[in-house]
Amino acid sequence: MNTRSPLDCPAWNKLEAHAATWRSAHLAEIQAGDPARARQLVAEAPGVRLDYSRQLAGALTLRLLAQLAAERGFEEWRAALFAGEKINTTEDRAAGHIAVRADEVSFSRLKDIAEKTRAQGRYKRVINLGTGGSDLGPRLLADAFGDGALDVRFVANVDALELERAVAGADADATLVVVTSKTFTTLETTHNARALKARGFRNFVAATANPEAARAFGAGEILAFPESVGGRYSVWSAAGFAGLLAVGGSAFSEFVAGGREIDEHFRTAPLEGNVPALLALLGVWNVNFLGLRAHAVLPYAHRLRQLPAYLQQLEMESNGKGVDRDGRAVAYATAPVLFGAEGTNAQHAFMQLLHQGPPAAAADFIDASAGETLSANLRAQADALAYGTRAGGDSLPPHRRHPGSRPSSILAFRRFEARDLGRLIALYEHKVFTQGVLWNINSFDQWGVELGKQLARQILSRSD
């Protein structure tokens, strides 16, 4: 497997030279001179269309990025991912989330348990205890497509206020507590689980890769998932059980099916039409060659309001690395700072900086077909970022001028149902993997979060 530095790839040097021509270009002039861009710079995956005509890139840019991917051994790495090879080398594991999506036996058992739980009528409330990927994934799914059959709440923080709000008015006998932790040693999660047990809650289900610890705690039902499934990739597994309870088996089946569709697209589509790979290539272009160190994700749909937080973990925990696969310090940028909010709320919060602030950022707009007004606002924002007030802008006072030439892409869905959420999450998962290949980093470990955990335990032990 290729683990040499991307700086040693001939395409990297070609891209650096090529970028000089784009730094002085303006998207308004490029679009005026080549109106066919809007038809040509598009790609499609199942249920979604990527429009990247507002990126500061052209056909030669994409050819050079594809050359870089080839020099980095992208196809070999992708084959290893799908073959279940141990590409997470620091933990000597495969990256198992694709295999989990394809595991019909485990999925059927999980779905059956959830459907029986929903049908019994014993529980009125579900409280999911989990943090990081054990919270963000099921929380996103429940918030997006929860059908109200159960009152599903989430507790991620060790701050007692969040726990108090989750249990307010709850009948302990009519409450199911889902303890979601791969190791079953996560400080926040185990602390909250013990707190609920001390308050008389007795109905516990554990979603974990450590059944022994869950059994010792006293969980009545244990839903296991493999250690090879990282937390931020785990919503498809038993770690997504609270989300499954919230949306029901039919919607969860559609959600998983959407992820599988994108797996097949990513595995087989040629690079020039491969949507997650294109997202990755354009991201590397913006970060490493145009110097854009921030990236906004802007979903124009209230049901996707949790998506930016979900993607913050997926992207920055996966690719926020400072050493490569051979342990060498990287001499190039890796993951950008990711932020975002639902549209149109974002327009009244931080979009001022995106339009007129000196530190330009790239952006992904997500059109989830939530209504014509939202779609119109989305396209208006993308056009304003790209084209600014170039035409006739000199007649405006300086504070009214928009520089434009700020790149963005649009992911447009024909409609947005549970299957589309599965597609969307899988798109970003494969984008992250592809960027890890290009940057020669391991996207499936997270050692950067461990030191703080260890220090917190030491501080707490001294205060006992």
Tens of pLDDT, residues 402-414: 999 999 999 999 9
- Split at pLDDT 50, 70, 90, the class of 360 is confident
- pLDDT attached to residue 392: 64
Catalytic residue among 317, 342, 417, 429: 317
In order of 74, 325, 370, the CA distances from 2 in angstroms are 9, 10, 43
Domains of the chain: 6-90+255-448 (3.40.50.10490), 103-247 (3.40.50.10490)
Strands 42-45 and 48-51, how do they pair? antiparallel
Residue 313 DSSP label: I
Amino acid of residue 255: F
End-to-end Cα spacing for the chain? 49
Q: For 369, phi and psi rounded to 5 degrees?
A: 55, 40
Told to judge if 348 belongs to the known catalytic residues of this protein, a careful annotator would answer yes
* Torsion over CA: 451, 454, 459, 460 (sign): positive
- Asked if 184 and 213 touch (Cβ cutoff 8 Å), the reply is yes
Tens of pLDDT, residues 263-276: 999 999 999 999 99
Told to judge if 302 belongs to the known catalytic residues of this protein, a careful annotator would answer no
* pLDDT reading at 395 higher than 90: no
In degrees, rounded to 5, the angle at the alpha carbon of residue 350 between the alpha carbons of residues 348 and 356 is: 105
Tens of pLDDT, residues 89-143: 999 999 999 999 999 999 999 999 999 999 999 999 999 999 999 999 999 999 9
- Asked if 251 and 297 touch (Cβ cutoff 8 Å), the reply is no
Read off the pLDDT of each residue in 59-79 and give the average, rounded to a whole number. 98
Strands 175-180 and 151-155, how do they pair? unpaired
Catalytic residue among 86, 212, 348, 450: 348
Catalytic residue among 76, 116, 264, 453: 453
- pLDDT attached to residue 235: 98
Sequence length of the chain is 464
Q: For 188, phi and psi rounded to 5 degrees?
A: -60, -45
pTM equals: 0.97
Read off the pLDDT of each residue in 83-90 and give the average, rounded to a whole number. 97
Amino acid of residue 253: S
Told to judge if 317 belongs to the known catalytic residues of this protein, a careful annotator would answer yes
Amino acid of residue 387: Y
* Percentage of the residues of the chain whose pLDDT score is greater than 90: 96
Q: Is 73 left (phi over 0), alpha (psi -120 to 50) or beta?
A: left
Name the one residue in this structure whose structure tokens are 């040629």: 270
